[in-house]
Amino acid sequence: MHNRTFWRAISCPAGPYGWPPLVLVAILFFIIGFVTWLNGPLISFVKIAFSLDDVSAFLVPFVFYISYFLFAIPAGRIVTKQGLRQSLIYALSIMTAGMIVTGQFMKVASYPGTLCGFLILGSGLALLQVAVNPYISFLGPVDRAAQRIAIMGICNKVGGILAPVALAAFAMPHVGDLPLVQSNSLLQKQFISTIYWPYIGMAALLALTTLYIKFSSLPDIKTPFSDNKEINAPMKFNPTLWFGVMAMFLYVGVEVLAGDAIGTYASGFHIPLNISSLFTSATLVCMLCGYLTGLICVPRIFSQERALVLSCFTGSALSLLAYMTHGYLSVACIALLGFSNSMIFPSLFPTVLNSTQNKTSFVSALLVMAYCGGGILPQCFVWLKSIIGFQAAFSTLSCICYFVISLFILCFSKKTTPRTSNG
């Protein structure tokens, strides 16, 4: 019996599908993490390249995350009609186009064009997320789905950790120890000329991945998707659902604040750009540690609901501590929010999803649309920091987010019922 358990533990989690499709999907999750968390250091970099203020620079995550709001439901319909494998090809093709458009407009120093590139990139990423999550869920035995998702989560976070490091290494070799506020035309030209090729390189990598999927034997997994009538059908008002969507909106917002706005936060202490550009990676390292801790502790030591409440409490405490301290210690508190944030999503998403029977596609679309909080909350931070200061603005927004999220789980986690169908 022990030998059977051992061999099952080291066998392929995809079962009869084998390792090749699992490795390919792991690469896709790595790409998702890399592209998503590239926004954090990019905010500081575009300020130099285009001589922008904070409000304009934070249009980068705003445009990127607003694409989830605009394209979530269309992406769901594409997946329903075309299937998962073909949707992956479409998503990567759109992302390739977005990378090329972004790189070309950066090369000619057109910020509006660059934002259009981010919108295209975000729309492709929205479709990729809608397709790849159910794909990995059904790629193998049902009882090993959690193991496959854990592997994908680690690949996603590793991609996010490496993104700021790669961008700093390839795109900003001449920054040195200059603070963010000290920029000049020579530095702008150097940045624009160096950032073009990394984007073209990423476009080439995406194109090669697209071709590989198209001509490979990657299985076309069939899933119990419902038709479009489910999305269009009317639904009675459900306070659990709408409160949960708002909680998801705030969660993604505070997660992006800790990851993407940490560079701008550090610039308030005049920390050099070549150092602050790596802080997004620090946040994601903390998030990865929290993710691994959650795999060990939930539900062995405490339940998902208790983990979420504890995460919100520690997140609020760290936010207040960041306000009361200064310099690198304050920034470290912001980075540690990644640890707290990592344990919120695993409890929040299923709680909201279980709040409505036979509306899986519609509820999933709403939750994906709520990801736009990652674009709106940073904009609120930029606006508020000009009034009350960057430390107070960050702490105020994050504490409000954690309070509302914890309130949702305390009020509604026991009122949801498990799903009895795939509806």
Under DSSP, is residue 363 helix (H, G, I), strand (E, B) or coil? helix
Amino acid identity for residue 382 in this structure:
V
Which has the higher per-residue pLDDT, 274 or 117?
117
d(CA 75, CA 102): 22
Identify which of 38, 37, 43, 36 has the alpha carbon closest to the alpha carbon of residue 58: 43
| pLDDT tens, residue by residue, 50-81 | 888 888 999 999 998 999 899 988 888 888 78
- Locate CATH 1.20.1250.20 in the chain: 16-225, 226-423
Confidence check: pLDDT of 176 > 70: no
d(CA 77, CA 316): 38
Give me the pLDDT at residue 2, please. 47
Structure tokens at 413: 């986690």
Confidence check: pLDDT of 274 > 70: yes
Say yes or no: domain 226-423 is CATH 2.70.98.10.
no
Mean pLDDT of the chain: 81
Q: Is the peptide bond before 299 cis (omega within 30 degrees of 0)?
A: yes
d(CA 407, CA 403): 6
Confidence check: pLDDT of 4 > 60: no
Give me the pLDDT at residue 186, please. 63
- Give the CA diameter of the chain: 69
Give me the pLDDT at residue 361, please. 59
Under DSSP, is residue 416 helix (H, G, I), strand (E, B) or coil? coil
For the domain spanning 16-225, the CATH number is 1.20.1250.20
Confidence check: pLDDT of 242 > 60: yes
Amino acid identity for residue 216 in this structure:
S
| pLDDT tens, residue by residue, 348-362 | 877 776 666 555 557
DSSP 108: T
d(CA 280, CA 40): 6
Query: 115-134 burial, b if ≥16 CB within 10 A, otherwise e?
Result: bbbbbbbbbbbbbbbbbbbb
Give me the pLDDT at residue 377, please. 95
Give me the pLDDT at residue 181, please. 44
Identify which of 244, 262, 264, 206 has the alpha carbon closest to the alpha carbon of residue 57: 264
d(CA 115, CA 190): 20
Give me the pLDDT at residue 359, please. 58
d(CA 175, CA 271): 13
Which has the higher per-residue pLDDT, 8 or 44?
44
Q: CA dist 5 to 10, 13, 131, 137, 142, Å?
A: 9, 13, 32, 22, 17
| pLDDT tens, residue by residue, 290-300 | 888 877 787 77
Confidence (pTM): 0.80
Which has the higher per-residue pLDDT, 296 or 404?
404
| pLDDT tens, residue by residue, 115-167 | 999 999 999 988 888 887 777 767 777 666 656 766 787 888 888 888 888 87
Q: Residue 261 CA to chain centroid, in angstroms? A: 14
Confidence check: pLDDT of 179 > 50: no
Structure tokens at 322: 């960041």
Give me the pLDDT at residue 319, please. 97
| pLDDT tens, residue by residue, 313-335 | 999 999 999 999 999 999 999 99
Amino acid identity for residue 407 in this structure:
L
What mean pLDDT do residues 166-189 have?
A: 58
What mean pLDDT do residues 299-306 have?
A: 77
